[in-house]
Amino acid sequence: MKLVKMSIVAIAAIALSTSANAEDTKPKRELKNNMMEVYNTLPQNAENLTEAFSKGVFYGRLRMNSFKWDWKAEDTASNQDNNGFGLGGSMIYKTAPLSGVSATAGLYYADSPFAGIREDNADVGTVKAGKDTFSRYDVKTSGNWSMAVLGQAYLQYDVSKTSFKAGRQIFESFLTKSNDTKMIPNTFEGYSVEIKEIPKTKVRAAYFYAQKLRDHTTFHDVITFKDAAGDSWNNNDDSAVHKGLSFANFTAAGKDTEHALIVADVQNKSVENLQIDVTYGSVPDVVSSITGEANYQINVSESMSVTPGIRYMKQMDNGGGDIGGATLKGTLASWTTGDTLGYKDAKTLDSSLAMARLVLKQGPLKVQVAYSAVADEADIVAPWRGFPTGGYTRAMAQYNWYANTKTTAAEVHYDFGKAKLVSGFSAMARYAMQDFDEDKQAAGVQADSNILHMDFRKQFASVPGLDAKIRIGLVSANEREAGGDKDSYNEYRFELNYLF
């Protein structure tokens, strides 16, 4: 661990010494607004094994994240105001391709070094958004607030317009995302292939047998909640995990506790201005889904476009409903007879989700209105950081894919840099109205709420690679049917990134 800390210090020193001499060129790597990485520079082909390493490229990153969560009603054991703070970075190395073969390794490090800013060891369970700056399991078991993870480690083979990867990797799809907005990305272990042999068509497939969530230091099962000892922080403990699909429940049903995640998708742009996406996802013998999406861009003028889009997801129960029940909270896992807690069928994961949006773009301005509706059946299962309503109605830290939930959202994004008003500055505001099913509150579903979510991002031309972001979430919710405001809060985030 000391070696890792020394490496981070060394990286910082190198970065600071070279930034003054940075050339005014496109950086090796950039961050999108959602913090997904875009590689502008990749290693050139090598002629021999020596060149495969000498022509390889390092990609460095230093980062800091700070979080403050303020509940409106701080009156329960779980609703406690909390903070989070993380310092760290990453170093990614890509070898140069030799006869189409290359390798990538990514080492990530995070630490919460200041006891006065972070929560006490005993209070790690109360931390909300800031929990991904450390591992709750490691803090509880060893008091360790730092994480060092080999998050990426894969071999790649490229031939023609086809690329194969084997090992630990990032896989950005409708269901799976790196969601790299904290300290360490969400990554998967397994195999993937991307094929672009057909004109204007991209086909991908992946088989993942393990996942590492952002606040974990080890890889774990893709769906199982809790481990053999009943520890909820040592397997898939994503905020959207299905808690009924637990180690104990799988075991009691005589089922395997180790699973695989299969993802396959197709993107086609054969029709001008029309993009079609189809995604299939499956955890065999548990749950599967198929999702279709269409977006059609209408060019109103040279500078203005309007794009209507629709997305429909059909979820199919493959045995998981009998084991874990219909609700993500797991409250129907042991149901046999009696109250279904507002769900029409307590023991099925069959469900669906429909969305629509309209996006207007004109120069630096983007305006979007969207709507989503979940069928009054089961909750949607998607604990792989690819949010089912993402890009449509999801607001920061919200999970609006519980059964019979309807959400209306509006969003405005303005790039002040593109408008030549403030260099490198952009702002986004999103307002979402979430209509949850009150009859399902006994199962753990939250109360109706309105959310104002704002992002402010600044990139500094004077220090190429430096990026600052402020995020604010203001949530005003109704009281629960049983009484009390359990869902209103204000959240504040501040993030710094330096890429080199």
What pLDDT score does 116 carry?
A: 85
Query: What pLDDT is attached to residue 286?
Result: 98
Which residue in the block uniquely carries the two structure tokens 């008003």? 421
The enclosing H or E element of 349 equals none
What would you measure as the largest C-alpha separation in the chain, in angstroms? 71
Rg of the chain in Å (alpha carbons): 23
DSSP-derived 3-state class of residue 497: strand
Please state, in angstroms and rounded to a whole number, the distance separating the CA atoms of residues 397 and 258.
Answer: 28
Give the count of beta carbons closer than 10 Å to the beta carbon of residue 142. 9
The single-letter code of the amino acid at 431 is Y
What's the chain's average pLDDT?
Answer: 94
pLDDT of residue 248: 98
Below-70 pLDDT ranges, the chain? 1-24
In the prediction, which pLDDT does 8 show?
39
pLDDT score at 5 = 41
User: Given this model, what pLDDT does residue 12 score?
Assistant: 42
Tens digit of pLDDT for each residue in 46-68? 999 999 999 999 999 999 999 99
Strand partners, 354: 312, 373
Q: How far apart are CA 283 and CA 99, in angstroms?
A: 35
CA distance 425 to 441: 41
